[in-house]
Amino acid sequence: MGSNRKSDEECSSRGMEDLEVNLIYRSKEDRGLAGGTLARKIISDKNMNSTTMIQMIRKGWNLLKHEDLEIVEVERKAFIFEFRRREDYLRILRGRPWSINGLLLNVQCWDEEMVFSEVDFNYCTFWIQFHDIPFAAMDIENAKKLGGLVGDALLVEDPRSEGLLSRSFL
The CATH number of residue 57's host domain is 3.30.70.330
Is residue 50 domain-resident?
Answer: yes
Dist. CA 48–CA 89, nearest whole Å: 24
Q: Mean pLDDT over all residues of the chain? A: 76
Please give the radius of gyration of the chain, using alpha carbons only, rounded to the nearest integer: 23
Is residue 15 domain-resident?
Answer: no
Is residue 48 domain-resident?
Answer: yes
Dist. CA 145–CA 139, nearest whole Å: 10
The percent of residues in the chain predicted with pLDDT above 90, rounded, is 1
Q: Do 92 and 143 fall within a single domain? A: no
Q: Do 51 and 86 fall within a single domain? A: yes
The domain in which residue 143 lies consists of: 135-165
Q: Do 36 and 77 fall within a single domain? A: yes
pLDDT attached to residue 12: 46
Please tell me whether the overall predicted TM-score, pTM, comes out greater than 0.85 for this model.
Answer: no
Dist. CA 81–CA 71, nearest whole Å: 5
pLDDT attached to residue 110: 78
Measured in whole angstroms, the distance separating CA 146 from the mean position of its chain's CA atoms is: 25
Q: For the chain, what is the domain count?
A: 2
